[in-house]
Structure 1
Amino acid sequence: MTTRKAYFVGSGVGSMTAAFFLMRDAGFKGEDIKMLETLKIGGGSCDGTGSVENGFITRGGRMFNFPTFECTWEVLKEIPSNTEGKSVYQETVDFNRDNCKNSKSRVVDKNGCRLDVQDMGFTMSDRMQLLKLVETSEEKMGNSIITDWFSPRFFETNFWIMWATTFAFQPWHSAIELKRYMERFMHEFVRIETLEGIKSTVLNQYDSMIVPLQKYLMAKGVSVNFGCTVEDVDMEEANGKYTAKVIHYRKNDKMEKIELAKGDLLFIQNGCMTDASTLGSWTKPAELKGLKDSTSFKLWDTLAQKCKGLGNAKPFMSNTTESIWQSFTVTMKNPALFKAFTDFYMQRPGIGGIMTFKDSNWFMGLVIAEQPHFAGQPKDVNTMWGYGLFPNKIGNYVNKSMLECTGEEIFYEYCQHCRIPPELVHDVTCIPCIMPFITAQFMPRQISDRPKPVPDTAVNFGFISQFVEIPYDTVFTVEYSTRAAQTAVYGLCGIKKKIPKVHRYHKQPKYMIKAVKKAFMGGAGTLRQRESGNSPMSTFKKVGIAAVIGFVAFAVKKGME
């Protein structure tokens, strides 16, 4: 009997977890699983690298949540962590028990003052618009964008400032994706200002999750072939079904191929949110790239052009102006400089989560994680990570767009917002990162534009990425990649074992009631709101208890339908 083999385009979280499911549930041996990776490092978008000398770098950070991320935790419960005797799951649970987030500086204004954002700042019109969004079917919403559903004032509310910067939404993004986030994370709506529900790994996600997972797979014989870029796959069509026959990939500027035997499987990453991303330095801006520099989107588009039922890549890859933002990682050897930032942060590292500068032209956010944040990071060296959601705009203090700035210029802009004395700025480096497709998965689209993990027209291949269609779940999460992996493996291998259900909090009355209460009564409000009589409590009194009860009843009814 011929041994079945499995091939993967990419070695990100989706590919790694799919390999795990193939071995655990489909009987594959590790030596029969091979990954082709363009980069020189595995993990896809969950990266973490660098050094004290040159600076550490993470392009982005992934936030975890309990008890959601059902499929991810299922995997990580079986992966040994960097802590002896603990799985990655248990290590993460224990770490967050001792490092529960409770932000005191969630939103900061142009004067460096912390704002009271306990209330969401909603009017009754805002509340009704949100309720309408949640109760409208995705079929009716189509490719509408968020601004189609809300008045301009909505985008000035405390809710939008916090929700947008927690999950990286823009007003021009897909309304369907916002709806899914509201439903999937409804249990977090009531504490969005403290970020208590957001969990972190001990180190960055690469060192805490990817490295242990990769060690586990390689110990079982799984191979990752770096520097290999898949450019095409030959497909054979019969009766409207397609079978992958030959993988064409480039290695060291030479084209090579792999012929798939009968029974072999192929898993393809159709789109990558960090595709064509680039790094700069303290003295050099990151280079702006785009579609011509992508690999995964071009492969998806090539396959979709010649095979029916593989979705449509164009809505996600054609407008980098609206899917781009920029991050940066700071490495500091000066303890006094780090202390100045943590003093402004008003909390010890790892507790505060995201701090948003609401009046920043770049719409900046800053995260100071528990130290050390990288494997091999010395005790006297500290790091922090930040981003700008509007990198095309001119800075408040630097007369350039963020995209044009060196690491030094980006750091200067942040120092001004954080009131850092210039004499402290030494022994520091800042590495900027431009990511043109980072929120491509949020772009407006038709439901048919994203293929299923196993398309109806596919015989021996499936898709694993943020660009497949999974009902009810939310993109831009590790969970989405893992769920796609499990779905693709089970579908292609005929596994009947049940995949964990997506938690649907909007269908549970207790969460709906809490969310509605938060929308009406979020907190005492700011001093200005209380003086003007527009605080949430004042609104509650004006609207009347009967009206609120009616709103709750209507919301709960819609949630249960």
Structure 2
Amino acid sequence: MSEDIATVQHHIVGAGIAGLSAAVFLCRDAGVRGEDIWIYEQLGIPGGSLDGGGDAETGYVVRGGRMFEKHFACTLDLLKTIPLQSDPSVSARDDILEFNRMVPGSSNCRLVRNGSPAEDRYDLTLSAQDIVDLNRLILHPEAGLGAQRIDDWFKPAFFDSNFWLMWSTMFSFQPWHSLVEMRRYLLRFMHLFPGFTRISGILRTRYNQYDSMIAPILAWLQTRGVRIVTGRQVTDVMIDGTRQGRRVSALTLNDGDAIEVSAEDCVYLTLGSMTDGSVFGSRNHAPTLDEQPAGGWQLWRKLASRHEGFGKPDVFCSDTGKTGWNSFTITMDGPDFFEFMEDFTNNRTGTGGLVTFAGSGWTLSIVLFHQPHFRGQKHGTYTFWGYGLRGDLPGDFVKKPMWEATGSEVIEELCGHLQLTDDQKAWFDTAKIVPCRMPYITSQFMPREPGDRPDVRPHGAENFAVIGQYCELPRDCVFTVEYSVRSARTAVASLTGRSDPPPPVARTDLDPRVIVRASRVLLGI
């Protein structure tokens, strides 16, 4: 853009990691003044899906956490210049890397079966046909897969394998999800195959992802004068012109206010949200389901109905029975359960990662975080998280779908799978549990075709871009922090012309050594 940079206003819709990253790249790389950046967030707090809050009295809460690893170049580049609030001499990136050196992760108990660590927990139990089908998928061009589902490609027996159980619970894949996305994951993370059964090679944060990533980013932005407006939902975007040349001219807010946008201003639109419509329950109440799509989806539907090139939001948000699951966060007043799990799993707390109960009707999994998991967490309290991938199915000890289960019933199901005694179950008598239903949490995994997701710069877009989980980025994988950050960096580089575009997605799948190691894992040799 040729205009004086000081005259250009930058409007960012959504204060999730994509929107916040866009603001950082604008300030840091494109030379934009903080006071010329506006971020509008419909919720009362920034951070989007990377959340973390609560207290010891009512219970700490995280809805979930996104995985990332050393090849997430955009995320690590973002965090390298974000200082910790507790020690400004240390960057958020360096803190994450140092924490993982100090507390390396390697699970000794990835799977539990019949109340004990599964004897075959390091065995993928893949058949020769399964291995052939995995290799066929890796070698098949993405363009030829269309909107196929995963279960269109693999035989029914594949979904009984340990590989699928560990793969699906690690990444939240379902048999009806996108075959294209599964192929992208296989290629993107092929270098992680040698540590797959132990979940090694995954980077974890010292605290929950809000405290470790979002909070320091917010502090950095606020010191530069970036205007973050919470509780203000952008309900409509006025776009003038034709597909050959179109510009955003105004943003409409939920209180009826309209923000004029000049032809020189830039707009960054977060469309859709995996945690929109989240509902919390309690110990005595199951979280309900709000069938009305929340703000991010409503805005996307409006734009897609009026303008070409904005994709098809209903491909992703029209079937909450296939895109939702329930998570839960438990806060305990003592270490007894954690000490039991350390003996049970042979992992020190925070080093093991996800523990999945094989055969569970809910496909139940839990993870015990390194403690404390929240900045300011009350001394003597312990928190852990879990989720059920199949909330639509009845439990094994609670004969109802997880979607209908109260917090107490979730604890009952967990205790049953661990075969705890009555005395051991008493550890949970004073526990605080916060279940959460997220109807769109895996919506970005739904089967799709080219054009179902908008490009970061839709055709003819002169002063706007699309960021977040639901735009199209070749080769990269949704349901990762990296995807959102990469979209933001792409948008800033494209709209301003004052910063570098992101580096290419790492292609470890082209390294012969990686291919050989991955093949040996699949073959069990």
TM-score interval (norm. to shorter) = over 0.9
Structure 1 stretch 480-489 or stretch 117-126: which is displaced more?
Answer: 117-126
Residue pair 2:29, 2:499 contacting (<8 A) in 1 also: no
Number of corresponding residues: 517
Partner secondary structure for residue 93 of structure 1: helix
Residue pair 1:332, 1:338 contacting (<8 A) in 2 also: no
> What is the CA RMSD across the aligned residues, in angstroms?
1.4
Residue pair 1:309, 1:457 contacting (<8 A) in 2 also: no
Query: 1:452 and 1:378 mapped to 2: Cα distance?
Result: 45
Q: How far apart are 1:348 and its partner, in Å?
A: 1.4
Structure 1 stretch 496-505 or stretch 209-218: which is displaced more?
Answer: 496-505
- The sequence identity of aligned pairs, in percent, is 39
Q: What whole-Å deviation, never above 9, does each CA across 1:62-87 have from its counterpart, x for those lacking one?
A: 22211x11100001010002451210
Identify the residue that residue 516 of structure 1 maps to in structure 2. Answer: 519
Residue type at the aligned position of 1:49: G
Partner secondary structure for residue 359 of structure 1: coil
Residue pair 1:334, 1:428 contacting (<8 A) in 2 also: no
Residue 145 (structure 1) aligned to one of 149, 154, 162: 149
Structure 1 stretch 456-465 or stretch 467-476: which is displaced more?
Answer: 456-465
Structure 1 position 382 matched with structure 2 position 382: yes
1:518/1:335 CA distance change after superposition, 3 Å: closer
Query: 2:336 and 2:59 mapped to 1: Cα distance?
Result: 18
Structure 1 stretch 148-157 or stretch 42-51: which is displaced more?
Answer: 148-157
The residue correspondences of 1:316-331 to structure 2 (distance < 5 A) are 316-331=316-331
The residue correspondences of 1:360-375 to structure 2 (distance < 5 A) are 360-375=360-375
Identify the residue that residue 453 of structure 1 maps to in structure 2. Answer: 456
Residue pair 2:332, 2:428 contacting (<8 A) in 1 also: no
TM superposition score normalised by structure 1: 0.90
Query: 1:125 and 1:332 mapped to 2: Cα distance?
Result: 45
Query: 1:521 and 1:342 mapped to 2: Cα distance?
Result: 28
Identify the residue that residue 282 of structure 2 maps to in structure 1. Answer: 281
Q: How far apart are 1:422 and its partner, in Å?
A: 2.5
Structure 1 position 237 matched with structure 2 position 238: no
Partner secondary structure for residue 430 of structure 1: strand
Residue pair 1:82, 1:208 contacting (<8 A) in 2 also: no
TM superposition score normalised by structure 2: 0.96
Structure 1 position 501 matched with structure 2 position 504: yes
Structure 1 position 395 matched with structure 2 position 395: yes
Q: Name structure 2 gaps, 5 residues minimum.
A: none
Residue pair 1:308, 1:457 contacting (<8 A) in 2 also: no
Partner secondary structure for residue 462 of structure 1: strand
Query: 2:282 and 2:338 mapped to 1: Cα distance?
Result: 20
Identify the residue that residue 184 of structure 2 maps to in structure 1. Answer: 180
Residue type at the aligned position of 1:90: D
Q: How far apart are 1:110 and its partner, in Å?
A: 2.6
Structure 1 stretch 495-504 or stretch 230-239: which is displaced more?
Answer: 495-504
Residue type at the aligned position of 2:294: S
Query: 1:283 and 1:343 mapped to 2: Cα distance?
Result: 30
Q: What whole-Å deviation, never above 9, does each CA across 1:299-357 have from its counterpart, x for those lacking one?
A: 11110111111111110011111001110000001332333344333321110000011
Q: How far apart are 1:368 and its partner, in Å?
A: 0.1
Q: How far apart are 1:221 and its partner, in Å?
A: 0.4
Residue type at the aligned position of 1:365: S
Identify the residue that residue 203 of structure 1 maps to in structure 2. Answer: 207
Residue pair 1:119, 1:518 contacting (<8 A) in 2 also: no
Partner secondary structure for residue 228 of structure 1: coil
Q: How far apart are 1:295 and its partner, in Å?
A: 1.1
Residue type at the aligned position of 1:387: Y
Identify the residue that residue 299 of structure 1 maps to in structure 2. Answer: 299
Partner secondary structure for residue 255 of structure 1: coil
Q: Name structure 1 gaps, 5 residues minimum.
A: 523-561
Q: What whole-Å deviation, never above 9, does each CA across 1:128-175 have from its counterpart, x for those lacking one?
A: 101111111111100001011110111111111111111111010000
Structure 1 stretch 164-173 or stretch 104-113: which is displaced more?
Answer: 104-113
Structure 1 stretch 174-183 or stretch 152-161: which is displaced more?
Answer: 152-161
Structure 1 stretch 498-507 or stretch 264-273: which is displaced more?
Answer: 498-507
Q: How far apart are 1:260 and its partner, in Å?
A: 0.5
Residue pair 2:456, 2:490 contacting (<8 A) in 1 also: yes
The residue correspondences of 1:397-546 to structure 2 (distance < 5 A) are 397-420=397-420, 421-495=424-498, 497-522=500-525
Partner secondary structure for residue 455 of structure 1: coil
Identify the residue that residue 312 of structure 1 maps to in structure 2. Answer: 312
Residue pair 2:242, 2:460 contacting (<8 A) in 1 also: no
Residue pair 1:280, 1:406 contacting (<8 A) in 2 also: yes
Partner secondary structure for residue 486 of structure 2: helix
1:120/1:335 CA distance change after superposition, 3 Å: closer
Structure 1 stretch 99-108 or stretch 239-248: which is displaced more?
Answer: 239-248
Partner secondary structure for residue 321 of structure 2: coil
Query: 1:96 and 1:338 mapped to 2: Cα distance?
Result: 20
Identify the residue that residue 357 of structure 1 maps to in structure 2. Answer: 357
Partner secondary structure for residue 238 of structure 2: strand
Query: 1:55 and 1:279 mapped to 2: Cα distance?
Result: 12
Residue pair 2:117, 2:345 contacting (<8 A) in 1 also: no
Identify the residue that residue 549 of structure 1 maps to in structure 2. Answer: none
Query: 2:191 and 2:224 mapped to 1: Cα distance?
Result: 39
The residue correspondences of 1:247-262 to structure 2 (distance < 5 A) are 247-250=251-254, 254-262=255-263
Residue type at the aligned position of 1:174: S
Residue 232 (structure 2) aligned to one of 228, 233, 242: 228
Partner secondary structure for residue 108 of structure 2: coil
Residue pair 2:243, 2:460 contacting (<8 A) in 1 also: no
Query: 2:13 and 2:250 mapped to 1: Cα distance?
Result: 13
Residue pair 1:9, 1:37 contacting (<8 A) in 2 also: yes
Q: How far apart are 1:239 and its partner, in Å?
A: 6.0
Q: How far apart are 1:229 and its partner, in Å?
A: 1.2
Identify the residue that residue 8 of structure 2 maps to in structure 1. Answer: 4
Residue pair 1:6, 1:32 contacting (<8 A) in 2 also: yes
Partner secondary structure for residue 394 of structure 1: coil
Q: How far apart are 1:427 and its partner, in Å?
A: 1.9
Residue 24 (structure 1) aligned to one of 15, 28, 44: 28
Q: How far apart are 1:505 and its partner, in Å?
A: 1.5
Q: How far apart are 1:241 and its partner, in Å?
A: 2.2
Query: 1:239 and 1:288 mapped to 2: Cα distance?
Result: 38
Structure 1 position 121 matched with structure 2 position 125: yes
Query: 1:485 and 1:89 mapped to 2: Cα distance?
Result: 18
Residue type at the aligned position of 2:171: F
Structure 1 stretch 227-236 or stretch 382-391: which is displaced more?
Answer: 227-236
Residue type at the aligned position of 2:204: S
Query: 1:9 and 1:118 mapped to 2: Cα distance?
Result: 44
Residue pair 1:242, 1:307 contacting (<8 A) in 2 also: no
Residue pair 2:251, 2:259 contacting (<8 A) in 1 also: yes
Structure 1 stretch 120-129 or stretch 320-329: which is displaced more?
Answer: 120-129
Larger Rg: 1
